[in-house]
Amino acid sequence: MFGGGDDTSGYRASSIESAEHGTQTHEDGESQLGTVRISQRVLRTVVEQAALRVPGVAHMAHVSDGWLQLLGRPMPRHGIRLSMHGNAVAIDLYLVIEPGTSMVDVGTTVQEAVGAAVEHILGMDIIEINVFIQDVE
């Protein structure tokens, strides 16, 4: 435990650093434990697991579109493209859904599930979540 007690409510895991003293403080002046950095691989795993748990999602689509590269846009990996902006993320998901399911309902549910997972598990803000249904299998 920190400070000899069980209460760590004064500590937050954000990264606003003070250049003067090498310590970290939050906007309200509370002490910081340090910086938490989350790799894109972890973010991609959380997004993928949340999407695959939605009923009606068969699997992530594998996208290989030369047009994206010509336009200078990064290729999605494992059906997921991430664009980081500080502590916020924009997510593009490429899915294959099961036959007989409502594409709109599945897409909306995936957006909600992925948004909740990213915000709750990783504490990141969502810019947007775009769902592209590539096929039905």
Q: Is 29 a residue whose pLDDT tops 80?
A: no
User: Within the chain, where are the H helices?
Assistant: 40-52, 66-70, 103-117
d(CA 137, CA 135) in angstroms, rounded, equals 7
- Average pLDDT of the residues in 60-83: 71
Judge contact between 20 and 95, C-beta under 8 A: no
Q: Is 13 a residue whose pLDDT tops 50?
A: no
What confidence score (pLDDT) does residue 66 get?
Answer: 58
Does the pTM surpass 0.85? The reply is no
Domains of the chain from N-terminus onward:
1-37 (no CATH), 40-136 (3.30.70.1350)
Q: Is 56 a residue whose pLDDT tops 70?
A: yes
End-to-end CA separation in angstroms for the chain: 51
- Residue whose C-alpha is closest to residue 95's, from 81, 83, 85: 81
φ, ψ of residue 114 in degrees (nearest 5): -65, -45
Beta strands in the chain (DSSP E): 57-60, 80-85, 88-97, 125-136
- Residue whose C-alpha is closest to residue 81's, from 89, 108, 97: 89
What confidence score (pLDDT) does residue 4 get?
Answer: 41
- Average pLDDT of the residues in 40-48: 94
Q: Is 24 a residue whose pLDDT tops 50?
A: no
